[in-house]
Amino acid sequence: MRRSYIAGNWKMNKTVKEAVTLATELKEAGSSKNKIMIAPPFTALSAVSEVLKGTEIILGAQNMAIAESGAHTGEISVLMLKDLNVDTVILGHSERRHIYGETDEVINKKINLALTHKLEVILCVGETLEERESGKAESVVTKQLVEGLKGVKSGNLPSITIAYEPVWAIGTGKTATPADANAIHKVIRKKITELYGEKEAEAIIIQYGGSVKPGNVTDLMAESDIDGALVGGAALKAETFIPIMNYNK
């Protein structure tokens, strides 16, 4: 039985003060049945880490550099994240792929670096609207998955979560129907079976992301292969994130 995993990606939002306020509200909501993670912007990680001490809420980062240290102006390294008690990093988010041109190769290097330093990873995959309309959703997602996981040993798979996020559903208010999302989740799980085996595929958590809200989370999570959510917009307010965190309470 897979434990549901709800993650909030705050993207480029919240000052340190605002981040502390939101993290405090989530902390005060008490513990959840589900695994919960929040990913504030880099500037608020330290302060939010203090707020989360003693809670079960996991601290995540939204990205990470390709190298451990050195001449990478403007980047944040895995060592710096570890230093701030970060447990998880989101890699391959569609905004990183499509706005900042991150390739599967870059994402794969980051994944292996994160695993070397014992960070958990959420690997995001998902097709654009054009790719979906031309019947390429499955092949695009499969390629991102296979390339992203190159060199990842099965022993490290428990540290990986996959987030299926159709690009056309992110921040647009459009959600994939639960059945459409589940169909792609099944493709992902089948590929994990081929790559690693049945036991590993049964255990891996596959989140859905794309305009998840309190009003649609229950139907999405009811699908057989949807094991959680990666939430953007609705993660920015306690009044919308707490009901998602506790959708099955």
- List, by residue number, the catalytic residues: 93, 165
Q: 37-63: string of b/e by CB count within 10 Å (b at 16+)? A: bbbbbbebbebbbebbeebebbbbbbb
Contact between 220 and 175 under an 8 Å Cβ cutoff? The reply is: yes
- Is 165 one of the binding residues for ligand PEP (CB under 6 A)? yes
Asked whether position 231 contacts ligand PEP by CB under 6 A, the answer is yes
- 212 is an interface residue for ligand PEP by CB under 6 A: yes
- Tell me whether residue 119 or residue 124 sits nearer to ligand PEP (CB atom): 124
Closer residue to ligand PEP (CB): 36 or 234: 234
Distance of closest approach, residue 9 Cβ to ligand PEP, in angstroms: 5
| End-to-end Cα distance, the chain | 17
Nearer to ligand PEP, 9 or 34 (CB): 9
Stretch that binds ligand PEP, among 108-116, 177-185, 196-204, 229-237 (CB under 6 A): 229-237
- The kind and range of the H/E element at 35 are strand 35-39
Residue 230 near ligand PEP by CB under 6 A: yes
**DSSP class per residue in 108-173:** HHHHHHHHHTT-EEEEEE---HHHHHTT-HHHHHHHHHHHHTTT--GGGGGGEEEEE--GGGTTSS
**Is 9 among the residues that bind ligand PEP (CB under 6 A)?**
yes
Pick from 211, 190, 73, 74: which is nearest to 138 by CA? 190
Nearest CB to ligand PEP, comparing residues 65 and 125: 125
Q: Give the x-and-dash track for 19-38 against ligand PEP (CB under 6 A).
A: --------------------
C-alpha neighbours within 13 Å on the C-beta side of residue 47: 16
Q: Is 60 in the site for ligand PEP (CB under 6 A)?
A: no
**Contact with ligand PEP (CB under 6 A): which of 77, 88, 211, 246?**
211
Question: Which residues lie near ligand PEP (CB under 6 A)?
Answer: 9, 165, 170-171, 209-212, 230-234
